[in-house]
Structure 1
Amino acid sequence: MSAPAPVAVVGVHGHGASHVRAVEALAARGLARLCAVVDPRRPDDAPAPWFPTLGDLLSATQPDVRPEVVVLSTPIPTHLPLARAAMEAGLDVLLEKPTAASLSEHTAIVETAERTGRLCQVGFQSFGSHALDAVTELVADGEIGEVVGLGAVGTWVRTAGYWGRAPWAGRRRLDGRDVVDGVVTNPLAHAIATMLRVGGARTSADVAHVVVDLHRANPIEADDTSSVRVVAADGTRYGAGLTLCAPERTPARVLVLGTDGEIALEYEHDRVTLRTPRLQVEKTYGRTPLLEDLLATRADPARRLACDVRDTGAFMRVLEAVRTAPAPRAVPAACVTWHGEGDDRRPVVDDVARWCEAAARSARTFAELGVPWAR
């Protein structure tokens, strides 16, 4: 057996802590070794040698702390410089989603991966789900007839505390740099990315046209309730209705709509439901964690990464449309009901779950559907 791969985690507070646990789980199986953690704020009881910056780690002379793989779980505007520095230092990268803050930055990361020959996996965890292949097979077998479109529905809940978790949360720009932290591009980015992946749209060239309709009920810069239409280069139509202002959180779904039925993929739970006039079948699948997939691909060059940075180009076309769109429109106060107090305070937009479903199934925006708060 080969020696466990030395892995460093950059950004270990918040979501980064889950990456530390993931490395430790792989270490227990002899597949990885947590060689260092990097964060400007030193963690309590650091599980490995600590460095304040990636540059400090890369310039360290101790052989035991030198990584071969880095996990980057850092603010969106740092993704390009950190991924570029890591790959140019000869390291393979697991980069947290969204890939970058703009399409041009995504292009630069792809260029760096191709120039250096390093692997760059993006953290859309759903891409490691075996359910995606199952959906592809059901479509190929003609179980729902001809595909007429795909959709994504996300009706989630976020409180004031969520928007106050970091200076960049809910911002479109910060300190002169793009952030693009809204419902489409961060919390429900998986819905968009998975929908496009299931439909076969991977690269930027696979997307012909994107329309976004952005709204906000919270006092933030970015969107918290939005609809999206994507038309692929092959003519496939995709629609999405996404909100963080629902009455309650429900599982996010990707829909494949056919002439003789539909498939629903609850990507958070790897659950696939096939519905046709003849039957309804539900099955739950396993998934391969993306860091494990990256390590396996390092060992087998013939293997393809589950979420290669190149395969996030289609998603980045949607992010770019959000980035360059006018600022989100405020949902009229009469259409919003507020619940809770303090950090638990949250808005609920009128009939938002119904309209998100309609946007996903019709590939029409809220405005096109005549939603009262979107006119």
Structure 2
Amino acid sequence: MGKPAGTAAESQSRNEEPVQADEPAPSRRRSPETAAGPLRPARVALVGVHGFGTHHLRNLERLQAAGVVELVAVADPQPPAPGSVPDTAAVFPGLTDLLAATSGLELIIVATPIQTHAPLGLAALTANADLYLEKPPVASLADFNTLCDAARASGRSVQIGFQSLGSHALQAIEELLASGDIGTLQGISATGRWVRDKAYYQRSRWAGKRSIDGVDVVDGVATNPLAHAVATALRIAGARTVEDVASVETDLYHANDIESDDTSVIRIRTIMGLPVTCALTICATESVEPYVTLQGSQGEAVFHYTEDRLTVRTPSGETEQVFGRDDLTENLLAHRREGTTLISPLVDSGAFMLVLEAIRTAPQPALIRADYVQWEGEGDAAHAVVVGIEDALERATQEHATFSELGLPWALPAYGSAS
């Protein structure tokens, strides 16, 4: 278990985890207008058109049809799929070529592999354009600080792609806590139970890597596929910046033949003393929508963030409500034009970056013994299942304990325990 942690690159194709399988589409809007008439569409470039970049392509198509944006250029070393990019958009093999040939950009969206976020983000900021950078922001705390400095120096705005933070349920949760309906907030937990097969780790050379050729990647369960669980729990806990976090502890494991973790507990304590425990795996029996639980002295609230669904349980009964969600690209454009508050600004990723840094600097994740791993399926479709993982996740979040502290047979001995 880890101890408490206090030259522009070219774009690369990325198969990044979606927020959910069927993300709700934001409502369509008419072209924005001012007293002087319709606003000119914002000139946008997209770096990375495969993987999660396809989500951005669909969203930009929607926004372009509404007259909000004009996609003027894309960059990716792999050519776009036929028909996926408007004929009017120029196509480049990398961001360097794109910037050299394209002027007047107002927004650059970067949806590329984790290890390219820092150099591409820095390069985008030199273009005097605002930046939408997919999660996680970068692969180390040092790169995060460098990017923050560059953003301040440029005067440009940076939005990080934690789409779950756009959920209107977060405001409802604030109001719930202020009302005292679930009593005093005693802790927050995030539970993620997903299935990922062997093909998932064969989709790119960086998948499941801690580093490549000395360059940090940090592609683990808490930093990529279930990063939204961590980020959402931190936001609800009021932990946004580096200063909001008192400590981070990690307990990292892997069942798959990878460098990074696929089954882990991350325990965070905020400066207010609130425990935030994230128990996550992609080695579950079956995939279940991840959720964040607010543990109160008189009840609890469970937020299924991929569905924007909030369930509140108190002695008086149970209520459930599904909320809408703001699109982060539209929010960034509104911030640029009208001063609307950014939903997921770069600086507010500081708390998450402390978690990533603790994982990056932790000892190598421990291999779960083969007799505690079952394989389901065949060939590339086979996926690992950690025996009893569902119960382990439940116990970890209820007790705010690591796998080691729970004494699980496949876990490392807890600190201070007998060997």
The one-letter amino acid of 1:124's match is: F
Name 2:117's counterpart in structure 1.
79
Q: Which amino acid aligns with 1:370?
A: G
Counterpart of 2:61, as a letter, is E
What's the CA shift string for 1:60-107, capped at 9, x where partnerless?
A: 15x5xx421011001111111111111121010110000110111111
**Residue number in structure 2 paired with 1:42:** 79
Cα offsets for 1:216-258 (capped at 9, x unmatched): 0000000000001101111111111100000001110011110
For residues 316-369 of structure 1, what are the alpha-carbon distances to aligned partners after superposition, in whole Å with 9 as ceiling and x for unaligned? 100000000011111111111101112201010011111112212222111011
1:259-298 superposed matches below 5 A: 259-298=297-336
1:29, distance to aligned residue in structure 2 (A):
1.2
Deviations 1:27-67 (A, max 9, x none): 11111111111001222334321011111111115x5xx42
Task: Point out where structure 1 has 5 or more consecutive residues left out of the alignment.
Answer: none
Q: Which residue of 309, 313, 325 maps to 2:350?
A: 313
- 2:382 paired residue number: 345
TM-score by length of 1: 0.97
1:186 to 2:224 alignment: yes
Separation in 2, partners of 1:257, 1:154: 17
Q: Which residue of 1 aligns with 2:371?
A: 334
The one-letter code of the counterpart of 1:40 is P
In structure 2, the residue matched to 1:105 is: 143
- Whichever residue aligns with residue 95 of structure 1, its letter is L
1:60 to 87, 101, 116: 101
Q: Which runs of 4+ in 1 moved over 3 A?
A: none
Counterpart pick for 1:233 among 271, 282, 288: 271
Give, in whole Å, the separation in 2 of the partners of 1:235 and 1:191. 20
1:205 to 227, 243, 251: 243
2:282 to 223, 239, 244: 244
Instruction: Name the CA distance, whole Å, in 2 between partners of 1:327 and 1:307.
Output: 30
Pairing partner for 2:59 from 16, 19, 22: 22
Amino acid in the other structure paired with 2:166: G
TM value normalised by structure 2? 0.87
Q: Is the 8 A contact 1:255 1:263 kept in 2?
A: yes
Contact residue 108 and residue 129 of structure 2 kept, 8 A: yes
- Given the alignment of the two structures, is residue 92 of structure 1 paired with residue 130 of structure 2, yes or no? yes
- Separation in 2, partners of 1:220, 1:275: 39
* Offset of residue 202 of structure 1: 0.2
> Would you say 1:51 and 2:85 are equivalent positions?
no
Pairwise CA distance, 1:176: 0.9
The residue type equivalent to 1:101 in the other structure is: A
Alpha-carbon contact 1:172-1:180 (below 8 Å) kept? yes
Cα RMSD for the two superposed structures:
1.0
Aligned-partner residue type, residue 57 of structure 1 = L
SS class of match (2:195): coil
Provide the rounded CA distance (Å) in 2 between the counterparts of 1:319 and 1:206: 15
Q: If each structure's helix is expressed as a fraction of its own residues, which one has the higher value?
A: 1
Structure 2 gaps, min length 5: 1-37, 413-419
Q: Work out the percentage of aligned pairs sharing the same amino acid.
A: 49
Residue aligned with 2:278, SS: strand
Would you say the 8 A contact 2:375–2:383 is kept in 1?
A: yes
- What SS class does the counterpart of residue 374 from structure 1 fall into? coil
Please state if 1:162 is matched with 2:203: no
The answer to which of 362-371 and 151-160 deviates more is 362-371
